[in-house]
Amino acid sequence: MAEEKKKKDKFDEFIEIKRTLPLFCNEFFNAHDARYQIGTKLAYAGDLRVFLSYLLNAFPDKFPYEKIEDITLQDIASLQSTDIDDYLLYLTEYEMDGKIYKNSEQGKKRKLMCLKALYKHFGHIGKIDRSPAEFVYIPKIKEKDIVVISQKEKDRIEDDIETGRRKTEQAQKYHEKTKYRDMAIYKLFLSTGIRVSELVNLDDADVDFAEQRVFVTRKGGKYEAVYFNKEALFALLDYMDIERNQLLGRSADQQEIRNEPLFVSRQKKRISVRMVEIIIKNYTSGVMVGTKATPHTLRKTFGTELYGETGDLYLVQKALGHASVSTTQRHYAKFPEEKLKQIRERK
């Protein structure tokens, strides 16, 4: 329910921003309605509002309008590449609605990619002849070191989940009620590399124990089967048999209802993304000193190990649900050789 409310809030915010944009922006979003998820649409709507507001202030003679909604497609098509370059410099630090905003190279890149997508769309359907953003240099993002969990660290984390030995006496009481759930979450992440959003949206009907697979809804709404190993199977069975009914407030002899959330909180609700992040952080912080581990760290660990074992980027792409193999290549193809050696002893 919490995730559904967040999605609705994002949708409402997107609609509110979209109302302030020119008609051609609405046309762009309508054409990409099925392609972009609500989070992407909200981000792009905000990016376009920043860009169009910049044009009104930077070029008062060329854009003699009071509102950004009056700007036309031909107006922005008349810009030069240098105008887009100047816009990227402006994004470093700017004021809008009485607030100061700053953008890293990553933030600038997203805003530029939004413009490139907009111009590309209208060029593709023949409404403009050129894209002033086409040859604009894409800000280079400094690559972060890939953090993966070693086999020794995985063993220690698993031991902590089983025993709760690093927890306080008070926390131990809660741990005893959720340790099978937490182990199932941990094992499923390491076995499948699914996204945290995909995990929290799982229902019990999405699990096929006989074939050792779960059906997840990928980005873009695609429904796919993802296979898990024996360790995840046993962890899921333990959770279902021992703990899940108690978390749902249901006695063991009560008839189960299908299509209920797979992972639930002590409040008998679907577990949230934030709660999963806290769970992973709590179990890894005492083991991975100096490193902040997240559900995405487990996903990276899975992807790195799979690539280290197979050397097959297309297999990793399929397993992780990347839309393009270039995304997979960017994250895994350059992984240091010494790191690959560290994972060869994994179970």
Calpha distance 19→25 (Å, rounded): 10
CATH number (domain holding residue 337):
1.10.443.10
Annotation marks residue 49 as catalytic: no
Question: Residue 37 domain-assigned?
Answer: yes
**List 281, 296, 339, 346, catalytic entry:** 296
Calpha distance 29→14 (Å, rounded): 11
Question: Residue 130 domain-assigned?
Answer: no
Question: Residue 49 domain-assigned?
Answer: yes
What is the domain range of residue 287? 151-342
- Max avg pLDDT among 130-139, 268-277, 323-332: 268-277
- Whether residues 252 and 335 fall in one domain: yes
Phi, psi values for residue 278, rounded to 5°:
-65, -40
**List 222, 274, 330, 344, catalytic entry:** 222
Annotation marks residue 87 as catalytic: no
pLDDT at 2 over 60: no
- Whether residues 217 and 308 fall in one domain: yes
Annotation marks residue 142 as catalytic: no
**List 154, 175, 181, 195, catalytic entry:** 195
Sign, Cα dihedral of 132, 136, 139, 143: positive
Residue 49 confidence (pLDDT): 96
- Whether residues 212 and 311 fall in one domain: yes
- Whether residues 158 and 37 fall in one domain: no
**What is the domain count for the chain?**
2
Confidence band for 320, pLDDT divided at 50, 70 and 90 = confident
Question: Residue 91 domain-assigned?
Answer: yes
pLDDT at 335 over 80: no
- Whether residues 256 and 308 fall in one domain: yes
Q: What is the pTM of this model?
A: 0.62
Annotation marks residue 121 as catalytic: no
Question: Among 145, 76, 109, which residue's Cα sits nearest to residue 291?
Answer: 145
Residue 340 confidence (pLDDT): 46
- Whether residues 162 and 301 fall in one domain: yes
Annotation marks residue 222 as catalytic: yes
Annotation marks residue 8 as catalytic: no
- Whether residues 174 and 308 fall in one domain: yes
Mean pLDDT of 116-131: 94
In this structure, of 210-214, 311-315, 333-337, the range with the lowest mean pLDDT score is: 333-337
pLDDT at 339 over 60: no
- Whether residues 116 and 237 fall in one domain: no
pLDDT at 242 over 70: yes
Measured CA distances, 285 to 4, 166, 185, 278, 280 (Å): 30, 10, 17, 10, 8
Helical H segments across the chain, by residue range:
2-18, 23-31, 38-58, 73-77, 81-90, 105-124, 151-163, 169-192, 196-200, 230-238, 244-247, 273-284, 295-310, 313-320, 325-332, 337-342
Per-residue pLDDT tens over the stretch 16-44:
999 999 999 999 999 998 888 888 999 99
- Whether residues 177 and 114 fall in one domain: no
Question: Residue 158 domain-assigned?
Answer: yes
pLDDT at 338 over 50: no
Calpha distance 71→306 (Å, rounded): 49
Per-residue pLDDT tens over the stretch 177-230:
899 999 999 999 999 999 999 999 999 999 999 999 999 988 877 889 999 999
- Whether residues 193 and 325 fall in one domain: yes
Confidence band for 265, pLDDT divided at 50, 70 and 90 = very high
Question: Residue 325 domain-assigned?
Answer: yes
- Whether residues 199 and 295 fall in one domain: yes
Confidence band for 257, pLDDT divided at 50, 70 and 90 = low
Structure token digits, residue 186: 């941990």
Confidence band for 311, pLDDT divided at 50, 70 and 90 = confident
Structure token digits, residue 5: 């409310």
Mean pLDDT of 101-125: 93
Q: What is the mean pLDDT of the chain?
A: 87
pLDDT at 176 over 70: yes
**List 299, 300, 307, 331, catalytic entry:** 299
pLDDT at 316 over 90: no
Mean pLDDT of 165-172: 74
Dihedral angle of Cα 307, 310, 311, 317, to the nearest 10 degrees: -50
Bigger pLDDT: 260 vs 34: 260
Rg (CA), the chain: 24
Question: Residue 272 domain-assigned?
Answer: yes
Question: Residue 347 domain-assigned?
Answer: no
Calpha distance 144→339 (Å, rounded): 14
